[in-house]
Amino acid sequence: MTFFRSRRRKGGRARLVTGFLAFLAFAHAALASPEFAETLERLGAAKSYEDRLLAARRLAESGHPNALAVLGDLLEGRLYTTRTDGRVVVAETAGEGYAIRDPATGEDLGRVGRRDVTRIGLNNQLRSSLRMLIAKLRLEDDNKSRRLAAIEEIGRSGDAEMIDVLAELAGREHDDKIKKAIETAIAVLRLDAEDAETRIAAIEAVSGNMSAHVRAKLTRLAGDDSLDAETREAAARALERIEAKAERYELLSTMFFGLSLGSVLVLAAIGLSVTFGIKGVINMAHGELIMLGAYTTYVVQQAFPSAIDYSLPIAIPAAFVVSGLVGIAIERGIVRFLYGRPLETLLATFGVSLILQQTVRTVFSPLNRSVTTPSWMSGSIEIVPGFALTLNRLYILAFSLVVFALLLLVLRYTRLGLEMRAVTQNRAMAKAMGIRSDRVDMLAFGLGAGIAGVAGVALSQLTNVGPNLGQAYIVDSFMVVVFGGVGNLWGTLVSGLGLGVVSKLLEPEVGAVLAKILVLVFLILFIQKRPSGLFPQKGRAAEG
Amino acid sequence: MIKNEKLKLIAAVAALVSAAAGSAQAQDTIKVGILHSLSGTMAISETTLKDTMLMLIEEQNKKGGVLGKKLEPVVVDPASDWPLFAEKARELLEVEKVAVVFGCWTSVSRKSVLPVFEELNGLLFYPVQYEGEESSKNVFYTGAAPNQQAIPAVDYLMNELGVERWVLAGTDYVYPRTTNRILETYLKSKGVADSDIMINYTPFGHSDWQSIIAEIKRFGSAGKKTAVVSTINGDANVPFYKELANQGISAEDIPVVAFSVGEEELSGIDTGPLVGHLAAWNYFMSLPTEENDEFIEKWHAFIGDSKRVTNDPMEAHYIGFNMWVKAVEKAGTTDPAAVQEAIIGVAVPNLSGGIATMMPNHHITKPVFIGEIQEDGQFEIVWETPGTVVGDAWSDYLPSSKDIMADWTPPLMCGNYNVKTGQCSGQKYE
């Protein structure tokens, strides 16, 4: 419970026990405090955001053990008022309606329908003020990372009155990292100081700081004509240092963006490379197999709504199986009758892609489906201050490399892989050696389709899960495969990552639209010169 | 002789009765065309509008129809294919002989059917916010023109949030390009410097926003309050907002105000990263009015799913349909020419507790609301215009159209009258 966290007590066991008993008695009285209830009522009745903020402030100052929890509920949008008597309650979704409880005492108030309660609305200003109130209450939180976040929040507040509070905290703090954070926060707050000397000292103190907030503040100081020249110069110098650092990181970021875009391309294209390579089958339904993988993720999340964090590990094999089976069905049902007739295969699989799209539209509705990003994939990881990588991209980059490695291992060390390579290189000879090339075709198609499904799981974390998901990626996938060299996995990897990096290098210069066009033009020219791609297939099969 | 005459009489009566019955059968209903994509990329948005129209027609029929006749919906599927829109429009007007058509979503589909409606003198009610710069005798624009959505949104950001630096981000097609051109001129007229405006276009369905968001972040760290005005098209929005959140930009740092993100779009996504960002519309599902409650209830009953949301274009169809009904009753006929004349000045209640009036330029009056996205995919209304705003067909902020006005009442009867030269330049819209 929060009221244990809010005070750090030390002392003998006896003191602790008596203290605890006293505390319980106090807690009960405090929980039912009429003042607190009255403030809550005021919060519920408030019509304007200003009134709500006033009430929230009073809640924060009440010292009530549940104040922090209530403010948190308000910030997260869990505080409602009942339509009948305007009572403030905490509501959580339960089935078709809400389960409600009393915010002060935690007493369970049963269930109500969706339209029986009205949410206490927030706007951005109120939200950031609430965050500040919560940060103030959490300055002495037991949890280090929460304490750290609270201190940074205070630094951003621009509230000069907090300097003394922070300074006092710094004296009591034992953790070095947090101590430093407090110093930074104080320096940031002092940037607004009246006194030029304090201001310049503060500027010096924050000159290596990369946070956007500090940068914005320094820019303002450097350009503020009403300030003395010294301050402006100091700010400009600090800013210069920060910007030089930022520029270095920018290049790194761009490389990462490129690799990450490339990894998505590789992931989408690699399955196509397998099916394309084996018999030159142009599978236009490849995008839809990706889509099926994404929808599998959605179904898994719907089936286990309480285990969102584990949904992806479950969805990956599931999507592999679903898309793989559909792929095998396409191969058995249509493609195998059309081997050696690329145009007909193209048309037939295009038809399949339309059928799959419309099926999904009928089964799931034409609207996009909501796939939740697990908490471990949200946000970013700060490598050094000012240079952060977004987690979802990082995971997907790693994931695509793992998929690539696994596929390579399968082709190299398994019987299926050996047979696939044999059939690709010389079908007639492989047949003569007793390989059932028919079966190999089927399994290879299934493998390629399954990988497409796995790619769909990754894409569900980046883009919309809807019937058109596949179409968006089919052209790019073909581009990567053709550029890399048909049927060459390494080629796919190099061309995918290469195209990704090139697009991202071009994008800031010429804009996203033109970058895409330039990449396409380059590809066309390249294919004119080298029709079989970066890494052309060697051997007899390539000539035949 | 007498017997013969009797027979003749009976025959005549029989003929008369059967003829009357026949003609009664033929004129028993008034056909209403619904031209919304039910398959392809736009099905996501347009299917809902088809259902809305079916609901409105069913309801009108319960009230006894129009002019004593039942309404009969004729639904066609133009499959998100722009040329097919024109074909289907022709089919509705020539083969089905519908009295009126409700339909289209994208501007390009509207432009595609426009010549058909003008040639055959049909009536089209267009329910989506669009870039303006058009006023046809045959089209009634019940969605917002830029001055009913974009300009008030920018005013809000400028005056209420103190925004000084602007990112105009959009998908690369006609609506965002025109809207951003209008906004750019508007911002400059308010004294915003060139260096404080960043304009960015991305292809349809853009999903890799990393470097653009990084650029916006950099642009926003210049010490002035920054906001993004987004005309990004539906599908590309989810990855856009996800990337914003992942790079640690919250709505409190750099708010994004969007013109094409509504309840329907939000129902398909994880709203966590979007909380606090803004949208400007003329209707929100969260509007606390009785009319709205009633509309939502009817919608849920009709569609059989209490989780379905309502949105702005649905309200536009609600208004447009009621206006058409009223105009037909006023004119006493469904004849397009008579309805065109009768509908101007017709006023019907909207869902936000006010009145929508059809203006002589074929646009309607609308209130403008700014909403903040909440966790549950609904909007918290944080600001609204004091009254309703009259839709402006030709933007006052574009040099090419500031002297042009539309007025479909005599004596002008012109969709693009140049007040300077005193000329009506015919059906030329660009």
pLDDT in tens, B351-386: 999 999 999 999 999 999 999 998 888 999 999 998
Fold classification of A258-543 is: ABC transporter involved in vitamin B12 uptake, BtuC (1.10.3470)
All residues of chain A having their beta carbon less than 8 Å from the beta carbon of residue B210 are: 253, 257, 260-261, 390, 393, 504
Residue B85 has pLDDT above 60, yes or no: yes
Q: Which residues of A touch B276 (CB under 8 A)?
A: 123-124, 127
Distance from CA of B207 to the nearest CA of A (A): 6
Q: Domain extents for chain A? A: 9-126, 143-227, 258-543
Distance CA B402, CA B152 (A): 18
B38 → chain A, closest CA residue: A366
Task: Determine the distance in angstroms separating the CA of A127 from the nearest CA of chain B, rounded to an integer.
Answer: 8
* pLDDT tens per residue across span B32-69: 999 999 877 777 789 899 999 999 999 999 999 999 99
Where do we find the tokens 């939502």? B296
pLDDT band at A27 (very low <50, low <70, confident <90, very high): low
Q: Quote the mean pLDDT of chain A.
A: 85
Q: Which chain B residue has its CA at the smallest distance from A250's CA? A: B214
pLDDT above 50 for A5 = no
- Of A17-31, A150-164, B23-37, B270-284, which has the strongest mean pLDDT? B270-284
**Interchain CB distance below 8 Å, B246 and A392:** yes
Test the A interface: residue of B167, B196, B380 with most A CBs within 10 Å: B380
Ranked by mean pLDDT, the top range of A90-104, B13-27, B198-212, B260-274 is B198-212
**DSSP character string of A331-389:** HHHTGGGGTT-HHHHHHHHHHHHHHHHHHHHHHH-SSPB--PPPGGGSSEEEEETTEEE
Q: Is the pLDDT of residue A375 over 90?
A: no
pTM score, two decimals?
A: 0.80
For the segment A328-371, what is each residue's pLDDT rounded down to a tens digit? Answer: 999 999 998 988 888 899 999 999 999 999 899 889 877 778 88
Instruction: Give the tokens for residue A255.
Output: 């490389």
% of chain A residues with pLDDT over 70 = 93
Contact A114 B47 (CB under 8 A): no
Angle of helix A489-510 relative to helix A229-279, nearest 10 degrees? 150
pLDDT for residue A378 is more than 50: yes
- Which of B217, B252, B276 lies closest to A212 in CB terms? B217
Instruction: Read off the pLDDT band of A2 (50, 70, 90).
Output: very low
Q: SS3 for B372?
A: strand
Residues A391-431: tens digit of each pLDDT: 989 999 999 999 999 999 999 999 999 998 888 888 888 89
Percent of chain B with pLDDT over 90: 64
Burial (CB count <10 Å: 0-12, 13-18, 19+), residue A362 = exposed
CB contact under 8 A, A391 and B246: yes
- CB–CB contact A219 B372 (8 Å): no
Instruction: Report whether pLDDT(B255) > 90.
Output: yes
Nearest CA in chain B to A379: B246
Query: In B, which residues are within 8 Å of A361 by CB distance?
Result: 39, 43
Which among A121, A216, A368 has CB closest to B222?
Answer: A216
Q: Provide mean pLDDT across the span B140-145.
A: 96
pLDDT at A354 (0 to 100): 92
Contact B200 A512 (CB under 8 A): yes
What's the whole-number mean pLDDT along residues A151-161?
A: 80
Interface pTM, i.e. ipTM: 0.76
Q: For chain B, first and last CA: distance in Å? A: 75
- Give the position of tokens 């800031």: A508
B242 close to A373: Cβ distance less than 8 angstroms: yes
Under the banding of pLDDT at 50, 70 and 90, the label for residue A129 is: confident
Q: B247 to chain A, minimum CA–CA distance in Å?
A: 6
Range with the poorest average pLDDT among A165-169, A325-329, A488-492, B296-300: A165-169
**Residues of chain B contacting A212 with CB distance shorter than 8 Å:** 217, 220-221, 253
A218 to B202: CB separation less than 8 angstroms, yes or no: no
Q: A463–B372: do the CB atoms touch at under 8 Å? A: no
Query: Would you place residue B83 in the very low, low, confident or very high pLDDT band (cuts 50, 70, 90)?
Result: very high
Label residue A32 by pLDDT band (50, 70, 90).
low
On the question of pLDDT at A28 being above 60, the answer is: no
How would residue B206 be classed by pLDDT, with cut points 50, 70 and 90? confident
CB A513 to CB B172 under 8 A?
A: yes
Amino acid type, A354: L
What is the reported pLDDT for A93? 79
Band of residue B71 on the pLDDT scale cut at 50, 70, 90: very high
Please choose, from the candidates B120, B140, B134, B110, the residue with its C-alpha nearest in 3D space to the C-alpha of residue B326: B140
Q: What is the mean pLDDT of residues B242-257?
A: 88
Nearest alpha carbon to residue A453 among A298, A286, A307: A286
User: Can you give the pLDDT at residue A163?
Assistant: 84
- B118: how many CB neighbours lie within 10 A of its CB? 15
- CB of B59 within 8 Å of any CB in chain A? no
Q: Find the CB nearest A257 among B211, B223, B276.
A: B211
Which ranges constitute the DSSP H helices of B220-344? 237-246, 263-266, 290-303, 312-331, 336-343
- Binary contact (B201, A215; C-beta < 8 A): no
A65 to chain B, minimum CA–CA distance in Å?
26
**Residue A24: what pLDDT?**
55
Distance from CA of A144 to the nearest CA of B (A): 20
More confident residue, A467 or A26: A467
Contact (Cβ atoms closer than 8 angstroms) between residue B48 and residue B34: no
- The β-bridge partners of A100 are A91
